[in-house]
Amino acid sequence: MKIASFNINNIRKRLPNLLDWLREAGPDVVCLQELKATDAEFPAEAIRQAGYEAVWRGQKSWNGVAILARWAPVLTCGALPGDPSDTQSRYIEAAVNGVIIASIYAPNGNPQPGPKFTYKLAWLKRLTVHAAELNATGVPVVLAGDYNVVPTDLDIYPTKSWDKDALLQPESRAAYANLLTRGWLDAIRTLHPKEPMYTYWDYMRKRWERDGGLRLDHMLLSPSIAERLKGAGVDRAVRGKENASDHAPVWMELRDAAAPRRSSVQKSKGATTDVATRAGAKAQPAVEATKAAPHPLRRSRKAPVTKPVISDRPLLVIDGDSFAHRSYHALPKTIQRKDGKGGGAIVGFANFLLRLYQAEQPRAVIVGWDTLEVPTERHKQFPAYQSGREFDDALIDQLNVLPEFVAACGFANAKAPGFEADDFLAAAVAAEERRGGTALVASGDRDTFQLASEATTILYPLRAGEMARIGPAEVRERYGVDPKQVPDFIALRGDPSDKLPGARGVGPKGAAGLLRQHGTLDAILAAGRFPTQAKMLRLYKSIATMNAAAPLPLLGDQAPSWTKASDLVRTWGLNQLADRLAELARALTALN
């Protein structure tokens, strides 16, 4: 994996330079600094066209940091902890392909002495504290960016003109050296111990032309990943291009980590990455239903039925597999429970659940899960459906315990043989709309767009932890069809991830055009189109249609049980997550 850092010094002004370098250098991950752009001004589409997903934190005119990656980065921290009053956009952190990567833009500190230099030293101290916390987890971490520190005299051209600058002050150098004494490895200096390796040349006094450079941009590796370092360098030539930044990209290469064990089995619909299950795994009960209110799914016929208490707040419906898979593949595999089993998917899913709950304040939460051990009707009707996919054993293990975490939080699970997570989403939405309520459906599967309505909004993950809110208008804008036409659209266009081939010669625009003209797949077939494919196209539509008849528990209003969840994850040894849950419990107690 090739990771780079580049102080772009105004991403809007130098976007062509950035895109040219991305094409030439081909890094897998890029940390950017000095975006000098607001969040809305960040050129996300151009970055995506270049083959990268991104998370970013912008700021008008100054600062701004981002992480670009060929894999979808999962935001883990959007600001440097330690000072809630600090609003400057100088730190962003994300999990990328099993590594925690931070993009850093430390304060310049000039003029010194003065408040700006005091802020610089305090910021570097906060970075040291946070870096120690990351290091203590044992996960692979890379801290990359513009530190605005010249570590030693080797890192600056021979001169006295910078002696009073904040970049060279003993306090600045000591702060950087303190990171190294705590086990962090300077990638460039490790592989190039005697070369200057400048990364910055001021625009003034022809410093580029006479190589009057400074080394300000550094890439630090945690001890857990240091042995994977195999290369590092500076792309100096980029500084000499027309309209160049005053910094050049710095980069390093890591050897691949050892691959985890895998098992082979069919993956259920709606997941965002490949999974499988162990042979001989114990079958799940018909439905798992756990929640705060005492409304068991199965009850004696003689037992009284209590009508659940229901408020006007929305029901939050979550595709559990979708977000567990995203978390597993994004977070480091070194996140483990105290028994040595994996914990990354648990931590990532839990953080997502907590953020979403706090943001939306739903009346209740239900999480739908796939049952991997038993084929669904879709698999029986179309054996090629989602064929050839695999899951790591470590992921399967965490998928098996995540419903226990959801239950400990006081929320409901829905899982049953023969049904997929999507089916429970559809059933929950249908039930909520029947009673006149509203629903929020969180899923990374676009098939859920068929559930969008005036009462139901899809929360679709984008970047930087943000969720797009998809209603009927957004479905029409993206697909050119109404939500109820999405299964017809999928049948015609096809779905490569589910191995649905669709109608021969029909793409997205053709599928949307046919549906605008005829309304439904059945009407299209009745008009004589695709006569030799009619049977299979009807089957594809059936497969793409979520089954709203999936069994559900009763869903009254819920009160979260954060203390119980905290106690559970602490028994697993996930203490940082346990502390966060305990803090939520204390806040809830104070409110009550």
Q: Do 385 and 498 contact (CB within 8 A), yes or no?
A: yes
**Per-residue model confidence (pLDDT) at position 259:** 56
- Do 345 and 418 fall within a single domain? yes
**Per-residue model confidence (pLDDT) at position 396:** 93
How many Cα atoms within 13 Å fall on the side-chain side of residue 585? Answer: 16
Domain annotation covers residue 302: no
**Per-residue model confidence (pLDDT) at position 332:** 85
Q: Do 509 and 492 contact (CB within 8 A), yes or no?
A: no
Domain annotation covers residue 503: no
Q: Do 35 and 74 contact (CB within 8 A), yes or no?
A: no
- CB burial readout 22-42, b (16+ within 10 A) else e: beeeebbbbbbbbbbbebeeb
**Per-residue model confidence (pLDDT) at position 463:** 62
Give the residue carrying structure tokens 């697993």. Answer: 572
- Do 250 and 320 fall within a single domain? no
CA 77 – CA 137 distance, rounded (Å): 15
- Do 318 and 250 fall within a single domain? no
- Do 237 and 314 fall within a single domain? no
- Do 62 and 180 fall within a single domain? yes
* CATH code, 348: 3.40.50.1010
- Do 122 and 25 fall within a single domain? yes
> Quick one: tokens of 565?
């969840």
- Do 242 and 336 fall within a single domain? no
Domain termination site, one of 433, 454, 481: 481
* CATH code, 74: 3.60.10.10
End-to-end CA distance of the chain: 49
Domain annotation covers residue 546: no
DSSP string of 352-371, one letter each residue: HHHHHHHHH--SEEEEE---
Domain termination site, one of 461, 481, 501: 481
Question: Number of folded domains in the chain?
Answer: 2
- Do 247 and 376 fall within a single domain? no
Domain annotation covers residue 154: yes
- Do 329 and 395 fall within a single domain? yes
Domain annotation covers residue 337: yes
- Do 236 and 331 fall within a single domain? no
CA 296 – CA 288 distance, rounded (Å): 10
**Per-residue model confidence (pLDDT) at position 375:** 79
How distant, in Å, are the alpha carbons of 18, 124, 129, 181 from that of 80?
Answer: 26, 10, 10, 21
Domain termination site, one of 439, 458, 481: 481
**Per-residue model confidence (pLDDT) at position 172:** 97
How distant, in Å, are the alpha carbons of 218, 344, 388, 423 from that of 276?
Answer: 40, 17, 10, 19
- Do 246 and 329 fall within a single domain? no
Domain annotation covers residue 115: yes
Give residue 338's domain range: 286-292+309-481
Domain annotation covers residue 512: no
> Quick one: tokens of 218?
């550094």
Of 10, 110, 107, the closest CA to residue 66 belongs to 10
CA 268 – CA 564 distance, rounded (Å): 30
Q: What is the pLDDT along the chain (592 residues), one digit of tens a residue?
A: 999 999 999 999 999 999 999 999 999 999 999 999 999 999 998 998 999 999 999 999 899 999 999 988 888 888 999 998 999 999 999 989 889 999 999 999 999 999 999 999 999 999 999 999 998 888 899 999 999 999 999 999 999 999 999 999 999 999 999 999 999 999 999 999 999 999 999 999 999 999 999 999 999 999 989 999 999 999 999 999 999 999 999 999 999 876 555 554 444 333 333 222 222 222 233 333 332 332 222 233 333 444 556 668 999 999 999 999 988 988 888 889 999 999 999 999 999 999 899 989 999 999 999 988 777 778 788 787 766 567 899 999 999 999 999 999 999 999 988 899 999 999 999 999 999 999 999 999 999 999 999 999 999 987 656 789 999 999 999 999 999 999 999 999 988 878 788 899 999 999 999 999 999 999 999 999 999 999 999 999 998 999 999 999 888 999 999 999 999 999 999 998 999 999 899 888 877 6
How distant, in Å, are the alpha carbons of 43, 121, 122, 200, 234 from that of 7?
Answer: 16, 20, 22, 9, 12
- Do 247 and 385 fall within a single domain? no
Domain annotation covers residue 563: no
